[in-house]
Structure 1
Amino acid sequence: MRAVVIDAPGGPDVLHIRELPVPVPMPGQVLIRVEAFGLNRSELHFLRGMGHSGSFPRVPGIEAVGTVERAPGGEFVAGTQVAALMGGMGRDIDGGYAEYTVVPASSVVPFRSDLEWSVLGAVPEMLQTAHGSLTVGVDARRGDTLLIRGGTSSVGLACIVLAKQQGITVIATTRNPSRAEHLRSVGADEVVIDTGSIADSVRVIAPGGVNGAVELIGTDTLPDTLRATAVHGTVSFSGMLADVWTIPDFYPMAVIPNGVRLTAYSGEASDLPAPVLQAFLDAVAAGTASVPIAKVYRLEDIVQAHVDMEDGARSGKLVVTTR
């Protein structure tokens, strides 16, 4: 099989396509014929050697979609359409950047869909993070006003789609004014151009502050996002697009406004229930939801795909198909 291998940290040029043996699953594992996979910022962190776990050489990739080839433990029938995500994929075990991958059965979520694999490949990790951020993170409810800081990211766009399905008013941010219309087209009610300090602008739209906020930029914008949030509102720290991971000299009473709740969200496959995945895919097929895909690449274009992810010029999910 063809697989992308990283021997040591570096830039996109350390991604090499090689011929490897098809992995053999043990009981409790699933061999998946990979059809497509999405690219994620955490893979960029791992590529640069910034991850908190993992080893080299490694086939990267924290997610993939395809069909079951073998499940020795009987958890899945051969031919079942599945998504695989997290569970150490691409860090502690070889991941989805390959034509076949072996993953723990606990990392596999089944579904049924006639959507193109290039569309399906964009969904698993993006949907898991967006769904978890809105439910576990913010606990958003119908009628709430929600701020999505980093709206043009793939997770930000998915948050907009899911929030609008739930009857939530969405304020989304972008640093690029030319992307404002795109945010509105996927459902954002209001768009704020992110100058780094937007709390006052958000409070013009929502005078008492927003009920909840999903922070996807990083710790550098987090204090400002907290200031945009209402008393008893919740901010979920769910992403680090700016690659700023810590707050120097963190003093909670100076950073967190009175009565504003700060939490975080990062999930596993178990945080994406099969009915949630199926319902979203059915909604996409019916035209009532959309998958924000920026571009689809072939496996042999993996280096260019990572270059494009690093420069951040594209709005939405980058997807690679293997065949």
Structure 2
Amino acid sequence: MNRTMKAAVIREAGGPDVLKLERLPVPTPKRGEVLIRVKAFGLNRSELFTRQGHSPNVQFPRVLGIEATGLVEAAPGGEFEPGDVVATAMGGLGRAFDGSYAEYTLVPVSQVKKLDTRLAWEVLGAIPEMLPTAWGSLFKSLRLQEGDTILIRGGTTSVGLAAAALAKRHGAVVAATTRDPAREETLRRNGADQVFIDNGALAPQIREVFPCGVNKVLELIGTNTLLDSLQSARAGGVVCMTGMVGNSWSLADFSPMSAIPTAVNLTTYAGGSEDFMRTPLQDFVELIEAGEYSPHIGKTFSLDEIVEAHRCMERNQAGGKIVVLA
């Protein structure tokens, strides 16, 4: 008798209600694949965009979810033992093939990391995409160095808070932004030396504190604030666009010669399964266990509450990473 599992399936683009709980067959793994019993996963803005119909390469029906943590159910190639605690992210998960919004997910063995930990699932579920995104943005795209000044635009996002903590540990001077003055203390607890209240035109404020501009800018809002962030960087500095909290993918009438200041570098970070596998997740887990770093979790939901979880994400009401327990 074939086993079935609960999964949130999207068959057409639309609002949160298009995510429907269904019963699907539990996938059967073959060599080179790992069947994971999903225990927790974080929500991501890219999943919101896909649900809204802004990911033309994603074919429906689809089970969304680009990251997962859980227990190995089976690995026919012997790369993992049943019961191993693992994490996975990217590499087509939830886009080219069914993802983590389910009780089980089937992924290539090449994008699964074993973790030695007893952290609670709601904590583990927050990190597979968040920490690699922060780490990759800082050290791959921005090439952050000790002593750098870095502006994190969108500082109260889950990636922003993680990036601030990592940058501070690396010896950088950290400035972070928020639109809500009440969030200043949260930013400072997570490593921000300087907090700016973001009114959309931040560059003049930055120049008051850092007259020459900052060395590095991590842009997590997106195209809505990118041009202003470019004006915040000093000559020779780097701006990395990683996030799109502002829900805008492109710039109208983009003129590079006028938009990008002389000698300021613009790059991006998208991440992928190779970047995920290179990220020292086990080191992060040990930092969390030692109490030296705490991922900022906003709200947790059950898989049965996936529609409400997406509503929360769409309204920016979580105040941190949204984690779903499967």
TM-score bin, normalised by smaller chain: over 0.9
CA distance in 2, matches of 1:275, 1:210: 26
1:256 aligned to which of 245, 254, 260: 260
CA distance in 2, matches of 1:74, 1:297: 33
Q: Deviations over 1:220-277 (max 9, x none)?
A: 2111101100110100110111111111111111000001000111111221346610
Deviates more, 1:43-52 or 1:265-274: 265-274
Q: Secondary structure of the equivalent of 1:133?
A: helix
Q: Following superposition of structure 1 onto structure 2, how do residues 8-47 of structure 1 map, counting pairs within 5 Å?
A: 8-47=12-51
The one-letter amino acid paired with 1:130 is A
Instruction: Give the Å deviation of 1:176.
Output: 1.3
Alignment partner, residue 246 of structure 1: 250
Equivalences, count: 322
Query: Can you give the 5+ residue segments of structure 1 that lack an aligned partner in the other structure?
Result: none
Q: Deviations over 1:108-164 (max 9, x none)?
A: 122111110110000010011100000111101111110000011111111011111
**Are residue 136 (structure 1) and residue 140 (structure 2) matched?**
yes
Runs of 4+ with >6 A deviation: none
Instruction: Give the Å deviation of 1:202.
Output: 1.1
2:179 aligned to which of 172, 175, 181: 175
What root-mean-square deviation, in Å, do the aligned CA atoms of Structure 1 and Structure 2 show?
A: 1.1
Alignment partner, residue 55 of structure 1: 59
Instruction: Give the Å deviation of 1:169.
Output: 1.0
Alignment partner, residue 108 of structure 1: 112
Alignment partner, residue 69 of structure 2: 65
Contact 1:232 1:261 in 2 (8 A): yes
Alignment partner, residue 158 of structure 1: 162
**Are residue 305 (structure 1) and residue 301 (structure 2) matched?**
no
Instruction: Give the Å deviation of 1:301.
Output: 1.0
Query: Can you give the 5+ residue segments of structure 2 that lack an aligned partner in the other structure?
Result: none
Contact 1:293 1:316 in 2 (8 A): yes
Contact 1:128 1:269 in 2 (8 A): no
Alignment partner, residue 294 of structure 1: 298
CA distance in 2, matches of 1:75, 1:27: 9
Distance 1:273 1:56, change over 3 A: closer
Contact 1:62 1:85 in 2 (8 A): yes
Q: Secondary structure of the equivalent of 1:272?
A: helix
1:2 aligned to which of 2, 6, 16: 6
Instruction: Give the Å deviation of 1:312.
Output: 0.5
Q: Deviations over 1:7-48 (max 9, x none)?
A: 111100111111211111122111001000000000000100
CA distance in 2, matches of 1:60, 1:260: 37
CA distance in 2, matches of 1:40, 1:59: 14
Distance 1:192 1:247, change over 3 A: same
CA distance in 2, matches of 1:180, 1:104: 41
Q: Deviations over 1:71-91 (max 9, x none)?
A: 122222222211111111111
1:90 aligned to which of 75, 81, 94: 94
Q: Secondary structure of the equivalent of 1:20?
A: strand
Contact 2:112 2:277 in 1 (8 A): no
1:220 aligned to which of 211, 221, 224: 224
TM-score (norm 1): 0.97
The one-letter amino acid paired with 2:247 is D
CA distance in 2, matches of 1:275, 1:53: 26
Q: Secondary structure of the equivalent of 2:192?
A: coil
Distance 1:224 1:274, change over 3 A: closer
The one-letter amino acid paired with 2:130 is M
Contact 1:34 1:99 in 2 (8 A): yes
Contact 1:109 1:269 in 2 (8 A): no
CA distance in 2, matches of 1:162, 1:20: 40
Q: Secondary structure of the equivalent of 2:55?
A: coil
